[in-house]
Copies of this chain bind each other. A is one copy, B any other.
């Protein structure tokens, strides 16, 4: 079921605006996570930087995107799986952060079970593999 951008927005209680469509469009192309600075470059001049920040955080809040903080401390965003709901994200896959191109890939691998000591209450587990990605490896 291919949901249209309009439907995605409506379903998540957001108005359909030109800027939001542009951002959704970018994510539909990308096969990896995008950061605000990266998106800003791609959309150079298309919209105000602040608007972009606001769109990203509303998309995350509504459950359209989930965020991954990479090894450089930058927040990156990727489309959510169907298991994400507004205000509650559950990343069930591993991310790969390339040291060279800095891209973040959502890997198909599932999280392995992780052993947490008693007393600690893990709500979510972030697993990020760090190294060289497929593209950078073959150069």
Contacts and interface: CB of A to CB of B under 8 A. Distances in A.
A116 B74 CA distance: 23
A120 B130 CA distance: 9
A126 B108 CA distance: 17
Interface residues of A, number: 39
Nearest to A99: B123
Nearest to A115: B109
Given A72-B69, A73-B69, A131 B122 contact: yes
Contact of A73 (B75, B114, B124, B132): B75
Interface in A37-82: 69-75
Interface of A: 69-75, 94, 96, 99, 105, 107-110, 112-117, 119-134, 137-138
